[in-house]
A = this chain, B = another copy of it.
Amino acid sequence: MKSVAINGYGTIGKRVADAVSAQDDMKIIGVSKTRPNYEARTAVEEKDYPLYIGIPEREGLFKEAGIEIAGTVEEMIQEADVVVDCTPGNIGPQNLEMYKKAGVKAIYQGGEDHDLTGLSFNAIANYDDSYGADYTRVVSCNTTGLTRTLSTIDPIADIKKVRAVMVRRGSDPSEIKKGPINAIVPNPPTVPSHHGPDVQTVMKGIDVTTMALLVPTTLMHQHNIMVEINNDVETEEIIEALEKRSRVIVVDAEAGLGSTAELMEYAKELGRNRNDLYEIPVWRESINVVGNELFYMQAVHQESDVVPENIDAIRALLEMESDNEKSIAKTNKAMGIL
């Protein structure tokens, strides 16, 4: 039973905590917050997670709010075999020193640069690279989405190059201060965006160029993907490969799943924790091989697709399982992932 600490109990952190708790070979020994808000309270009162505070000076605020704390982040990591760092993008780097000092392994998220750890992680594409390592980084939600389907397609289609347009949600559902309310925002306005190089950290050598924008929605990202392929494959073979691949699902617009909103509703029908859709849904109708080109559209539930990846990353770092597909299957089963 390995001990896991979550530093930064926010959108990603709280999901990784629940996913860890769902496994039988690891457990949460603590989660950290910086403010005594409703998430801090429910972590303690609903989830029974020991709560540590990221900014010790704020102890009084937690006391005032009547939220019990177990100690500081520095104390929390002493007890852990691995820390999953889910703090916001700019905080992570300064935490690395603390982890090194404490001699604890650590997993970072996609908000950090690849250079921080020199190692990036996707369970399907490059599990072995992080096996036994001290630090790794689970790539971002968008990169995870691209990697899952591209690494499934490549073995049968032999990808020559990928061109993709990433239509990104403007904010997470509960971020009420971020916009835009009514605009499409090229973001970045330069081409290519950073998503292509990020895919290359887990799929070495792939030729991928991306363009990205923000739109006024909160639910999911959406990707439009155009792939030049070397092999002669049928549309049906691509569909079959995607259907066989776990963590990817092929969905039918025609069956009422024609938008990101209906996909989120579908997650509700599946009874998912927090309404999460861990799988990358690919629209069946969009998959089309024309000559040496393959087109498809997919969506990404930004809040949750990386969550099972973190579980597998824990197993890789702590050498709990050497076969990536075995770890994937174990994680999937515990979380009800298709």
Chain A interface size, under 10 / 10 to 19 / 20 to 34 / 35 or more = 35 or more
Distance (whole angstroms) from the CB of A9 to the closest CB of chain B: 10
Residues in B neighbouring A170, C-beta threshold 8 A: 179, 181
Distance (whole angstroms) from the CB of A177 to the closest CB of chain B: 5
Considering the chains assembled together, what is the distance between the CA atoms of A286 and B37 in angstroms?
18
Question: What sequence of 0s and 1s flags, for each residue 177-202 of chain A, a beta carbon within 8 Å of any chain B beta carbon?
Answer: 11111111110111110000000000
**Are B261 and A176 within 8 A (Cβ)?**
yes
Distance (whole angstroms) from the CB of A97 to the closest CB of chain B: 30
**Are A182 and B261 within 8 A (Cβ)?**
yes
Residues in B neighbouring A226, C-beta threshold 8 A: 163, 209, 211, 226
Question: What sequence of 0s and 1s flags, for each residue 237-276 of chain A, a beta carbon within 8 Å of any chain B beta carbon?
Answer: 0000000000000001101111111101110111101110
Distance (whole angstroms) from the CB of A47 to the closest CB of chain B: 8
Closest to A295 in B: B191
Distance (whole angstroms) from the CB of A198 to the closest CB of chain B: 18
Considering the chains assembled together, what is the distance between the CA atoms of A186 and B193 in angstroms?
22
Considering the chains assembled together, what is the distance between the CA atoms of A58 and B94 in angstroms?
33
Residues in B neighbouring A252, C-beta threshold 8 A: 38
A186-B256 in contact given A176-B180, A211-B224 (Cβ < 8 Å): no
User: Which of A176, A189, A283 gathers the greatest number of chain B CB atoms within 10 Å?
Assistant: A176
Among A103-111, A124-132, A213-221, A315-323, the stretch in contact with B:
A213-221
- A→B interface (CB under 8 Å): 14, 35-39, 41-42, 46, 65, 163, 165, 167, 169-171, 173-186, 188-192, 209, 211, 213, 215-220, 222, 224, 226, 252-253, 255-262, 264-266, 268-271, 273-275, 283, 285-288, 290, 293, 295-297, 299
